[in-house]
C-alpha cells in the first residue's frame, strides 16, 4: 500500500484543457465538473484543469447563465470564470486538450499547428459512446450536455 501511495505522490500532474467554441457553456462545465470530481476523490494534487475557446467572440464573458444554473443544481460553482481563447502555447502547457465536438477538434488542430504528440481528443472519446458533446447553445438542452460532460469527466478521471 505504501508503494502505491508513493507512486501517487511522485506521479506527474495531468494538465487538462477543455475546449469548446465560446468557452461559456460546454468547456467551462467540463472544467468545473472535472475539478469537482478530482476534489471529491482527493486527487486535486494530480490535476491542473482549465478551459478555453476556439473563437474570440465571447472572450471576457462569464459562463452562460443556464450553464451556471446547471452546475449550481449539482452544488458546483464556476464563480470568476471568464472566457479566454486557446493559444498555440497551450499545446505545450497541457498534456491533454479535450474538445467537445468535431468542429472544436479541427479548430484546435489549426490553432496548435497540428497535433504531433496526439494530445487533442474529444471528451466522449474517453467513454464507451464516442461522439460529440451536445451543444446547448443550439439545443437549449443543458441536461443532455450535463450528462455528456459528467460521463466524459468520470471516464477521464480514470486515466
Active site members = 20, 26, 135
Check if the beta carbon of residue 20 is closer than 8 Å to that of residue 85. no
Name the grid cell of 54: 476556439
Contacts 24+ apart (CB under 8 A), 60-63: 61/22, 61/24, 62/24, 63/24, 63/25, 63/28, 63/29
Residue 39: phi, psi to the nearest 5?
A: -65, -45
Distance between CA atoms of residues 52 and 125, nearest Å:
19
Amino acid at each position: 500500500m505504501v508503494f502505491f501511495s508513493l507512486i501517487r505522490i511522485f506521479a506527474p500532474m495531468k494538465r487538462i484543457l477543455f475546449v469548446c467554441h465560446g468557452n461559456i457553456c460546454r468547456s467551462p462545465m467540463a472544467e468545473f465538473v472535472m475539478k469537482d470530481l478530482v476534489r471529491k476523490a482527493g486527487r486535486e494534487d494530480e490535476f491542473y484543469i482549465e478551459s478555453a475557446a476556439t473563437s474570440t467572440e465571447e472572450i471576457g464573458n462569464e459562463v452562460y447563465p443556464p450553464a451556471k444554473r446547471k452546475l449550481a443544481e449539482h452544488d458546483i460553482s464556476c464563480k470568476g470564470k471568464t472566457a479566454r481563447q486557446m493559444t498555440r502555447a497551450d499545446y505545450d502547457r497541457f498534456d491533454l486538450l479535450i474538445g467537445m465536438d468535431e468542429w472544436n477538434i479541427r479548430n484546435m488542430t489549426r490553432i496548435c499547428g497540428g497535433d504531433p504528440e496526439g494530445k487533442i481528443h474529444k471528451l466522449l472519446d474517453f467513454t464507451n459512446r464516442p461522439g460529440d458533446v451536445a451543444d446547448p447553445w443550439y439545443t437549449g438542452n443543458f441536461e443532455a450536455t450535463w450528462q455528456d460532460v459528467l460521463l466524459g469527466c468520470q471516464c477521464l478521471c480514470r486515466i
